[in-house]
């Protein structure tokens, strides 16, 4: 029972119930959710984490040079600012440390169950609860499930004939094998996306030969990175409002960049101009310049930030291979032009399985309907968070909440705030569960996909943002401020309440 003020100050007794929440994953989303629950005085939750440490993608991506291309003062929680970021764009160890610090500060350790992988979650309609089964066969029940498994957690491997016969070492950049010394080796890197452009400049000086297998080039623009001075850090520490102002200025600058993602926009041309200039500055060979220049609008695939990618490519021991991979042999990779590229090590930097959100978990909602059934034509959700037929199930960084221009942490905080309001509504003992109305979900997605048509993501190029049918399932279609506006109040009318 809890007491609150009634009309004219009289105390009224308001019955409440304790809502048990299961959060899946202790990455940025899961930790942010858990910390906010603690900040709101809610302790009836558990975090189920398949790894043995917090950090999600920032625990897993330990490749050399791994870091974030969103400035750290914005790539952190608004409720947990950090005054002493060492540089504008922090590297993986510092981001991972920040996450561990958040877990420590909010006393999250007792709430996290490590080495606990969820295999299935099934909604028990009669009881109004979720039955979660781990890969070890244990059952955990919860009133509410919040999935924080993200979009980029399962590495994608290319299907290459003969790969099993390859005699050297091979690994994915998101599962970097630290036991492999690349010094003096012939190294083949497959892919040239956001991860490859970070580790290639790090490993290029030490390997004998580096062959980058490029399927399509990316737009790469300079990164305005530098260390923060001691004076700046002291100011940030002394005057927290300066940190807030700095964060806000970064936010506004990045928010403006959304304009570059509108088809044929002036800003998109500016990015292309900056990208072309980078190529001209660092690459002298006209043929290589052509190979590295994309033939699609900037932003269609993620715009990459780097100051050392083109200088690395210009090194005499680095080669960009554009002929498609035909097969692998014991000695290396054979391309369709018949050339053999000897390799001691193959590094797959081929991205992630992004289409099957929540996979390999099997999620079953009302009437035995599974997420696979509902999402057979591409994932979608109400505000990226809830799915009709899956009551009391909420997602963080779900469908259509990825960005090309701003901080995912901002989006996560909008979602966390929204879910907190849902949890609050579920404290009412008369409400057993809430299920988003299909009509509300459809209206939201109709508007989103209509909006999407004006963006470069709907343009010709292929990317991990859209499925085989061309539907953009991963990205938010507008300014993040618009998302914030829509998410600031939880609208109970959009939900069917079952008591
Ligand atoms: P990615 O950007 O999706 O790049 C994958 C690369 O592999 C692309 O060059 C792709 O070519 C190539 N590729 C995929 N399958 C292939 C195949 N079968 N044969 C040959 N090439 C193949 O993956 P990523 O670099 O891991 O980055 C994924 C996402 O992670 C990013 O977009 C970003 O959101 C996030 N990330 C962020 C940061 C950061 O700084 N915040 C850093 C790293 C990653 P095509 O382009 O032709 O498909």
The alpha carbon of residue 425 and the mean position of all alpha carbons in its chain are separated, in whole angstroms, by 28
Average pLDDT of the residues in 287-296: 96
Give this prediction's pTM: 0.95
Decide: 154 and 353 in contact? Cβ < 8 Å: yes
To test the pocket of ligand 1, the residue of 350, 410, 412 to mutate (highest count of ligand atoms within 8 Å of its CB) is 350
Among 200, 223, 201, which Cα is nearest to 213's? 200
Find the range with the poorest average confidence among 81-95, 215-229, 409-423, 457-471. 457-471
To test the pocket of ligand 1, the residue of 351, 401, 406, 457 to mutate (highest count of ligand atoms within 8 Å of its CB) is 351
pLDDT on residue 205: 98
15 has a pLDDT exceeding 90: no
Which atom of ligand 1 approaches the CA of 463 most closely? 48
pLDDT on residue 339: 97
Position with higher pLDDT, 4 vs 338: 338
pLDDT on residue 10: 43
Buried b vs exposed e over 126-165: b needs ≥16 C-beta within 10 Å? eeebbebbbeeeeebebbbbbbbbbbbbebbeeebeebee
To test the pocket of ligand 1, the residue of 76, 191, 457 to mutate (highest count of ligand atoms within 8 Å of its CB) is 191
3-state secondary structure 382-414: ECCCECCCCCCEEECCCCCCECCCCCHHHHHHH
DSSP per-residue codes, 256-269 = HGGGGGBTT-HHHH
3 has a pLDDT exceeding 60: no
pLDDT on residue 462: 83
pLDDT on residue 14: 57
What's the mean pLDDT when you consider all of the chain? 94
Burial class (CB in 10 A: 0-12, 13-18, 19+), 494: middle
150 has a pLDDT exceeding 90: no
What percentage of residues in the chain have a pLDDT greater than 90?
Answer: 89
Find the range with the poorest average confidence among 13-27, 41-55, 232-246, 470-484. 13-27
What percentage of residues in the chain have a pLDDT greater than 70?
Answer: 97
Condensed to tens digits (0 to 9), the pLDDT of residues 153-175 reads 899 999 999 999 999 999 999 99
Q: Report the alpha-carbon distance of residue 191 to residue 333 in Å, rounded.
A: 14
What residue has token string 């399927």?
215
Q: What's the CA-to-centroid distance between 215 and ligand 1, angstroms?
A: 11
Q: Report how far apart, in Å, the C-alpha atoms of 264 and of each of 113, 255, 261 are.
A: 48, 18, 8
247 has a pLDDT exceeding 60: yes
The residues pairing with 221 across neighbouring beta strands, listed in sequence order, are 305
DSSP structural state of residue 83 = T
Which atom of ligand 1 approaches the CA of 66 most closely? 42
Q: What's the CA-to-centroid distance between 77 and ligand 1, angstroms?
A: 26
- Using DSSP bridges, classify how beta strands 209-213 and 21-24 pair: parallel, antiparallel or unpaired: unpaired
Q: What's the CA-to-centroid distance between 381 and ligand 1, angstroms?
A: 24
Residues 6+ apart with CB under 8 A from 486: 383
pLDDT on residue 483: 98
Binned at pLDDT 50, 70 and 90, residue 356 comes out as confident
Peptide bond before 361: cis, by omega within 30 degrees of 0?
A: no
222 has a pLDDT exceeding 50: yes
Binned at pLDDT 50, 70 and 90, residue 12 comes out as low
pLDDT on residue 1: 31
Binned at pLDDT 50, 70 and 90, residue 13 comes out as low
Among 456, 466, 476, 475, which Cα is nearest to 261's? 456
- Within 13 Å and on the Cβ side, how many CA atoms surround 106? 25
Condensed to tens digits (0 to 9), the pLDDT of residues 440-460 reads 999 999 999 999 999 999 876
Condensed to tens digits (0 to 9), the pLDDT of residues 306-322 reads 999 999 999 999 999 99
Condensed to tens digits (0 to 9), the pLDDT of residues 99-136 reads 999 999 999 999 999 999 999 999 999 999 999 999 99
């Amino acid at each position: 029972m809890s007491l609150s003020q009634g009309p004219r100050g009289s105390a009224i007794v308001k019955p409440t119930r304790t809502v048990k929440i299961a959060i899946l994953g202790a990455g940025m989303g899961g930790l942010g959710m858990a910390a906010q629950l603690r900040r709101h005085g809610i302790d009836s939750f558990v975090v189920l984490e398949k790894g043995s440490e917090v950090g999600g993608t920032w625990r897993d991506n330990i490749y050399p040079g791994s870091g974030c291309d969103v400035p750290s003062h914005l790539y952190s929680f608004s409720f947990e600012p950090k005054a002493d970021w060492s540089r504008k764009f922090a590297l993986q160890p510092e981001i991972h440390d920040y996450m561990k610090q958040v877990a420590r500060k909010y006393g999250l350790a007792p709430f996290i169950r490590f080495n606990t992988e969820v295999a299935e979650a099934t909604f028990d309609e009669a009881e109004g609860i979720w039955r979660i089964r781990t890969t070890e066969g244990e059952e955990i029940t919860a009133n509410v499930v919040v999935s924080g498994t993200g979009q980029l957690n399962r590495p994608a491997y290319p299907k290459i004939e003969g790969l099993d016969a390859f005699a050297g070492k091979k690994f994915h950049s998101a599962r970097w094998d630290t036991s492999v010394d690349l010094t003096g080796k012939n190294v083949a890197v497959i892919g040239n996306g956001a991860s490859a452009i970070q580790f290639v400049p790090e490993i290029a000086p030490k390997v004998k030969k580096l062959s980058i297998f490029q399927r399509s080039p990316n737009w790469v623009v300079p990164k305005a990175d530098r260390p923060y001075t001691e004076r700046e850090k002291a100011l940030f520490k002394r005057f927290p409002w300066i940190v807030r102002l700095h964060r806000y200025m970064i936010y506004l600058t990045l928010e403006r960049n959304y304009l570059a993602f509108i088809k044929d926009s002036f800003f998109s041309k500016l990015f292309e101009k900056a990208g072309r200039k980078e190529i001209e500055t660092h690459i002298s060979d006209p043929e290589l310049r052509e190979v590295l220049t994309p033939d699609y609008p900037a932003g269609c695939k993620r715009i990459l930030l780097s100051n050392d990618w083109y200088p690395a490519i210009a090194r005499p021991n680095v080669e960009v291979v554009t002929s498609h991979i035909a097969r692998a042999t014991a000695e290396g990779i054979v391309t369709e032009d018949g050339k053999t590229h000897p390799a001691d090590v193959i590094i797959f930097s081929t991205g992630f399985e992004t289409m099957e959100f929540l996979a390999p978990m099997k999620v079953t909602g009302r009437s035995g309907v599974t997420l696979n059934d509902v999402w057979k034509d591409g994932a979608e959700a109400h505000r990226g968070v809830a799915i009709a037929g899956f009551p009391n199930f909420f997602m963080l960084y779900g469908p259509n909440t990825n960005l090309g221009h701003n901080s995912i942490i901002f989006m996560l905080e909008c979602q966390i705030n929204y879910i907190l309001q849902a949890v609050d509504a579920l404290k009412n003992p008369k409400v057993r569960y809430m299920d988003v109305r299909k009509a509300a979900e459809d209206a939201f997605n109709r508007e989103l996909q209509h909006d999407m048509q004006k963006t470069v993501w709907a343009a010709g190029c292929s990317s991990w943002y859209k499925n085989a049918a061309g539907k953009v399932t991963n990205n938010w279609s507008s300014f993040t401020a618009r998302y914030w506006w829509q998410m600031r109040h939880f609208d109970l009318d959009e939900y069917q309440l079952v008591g």
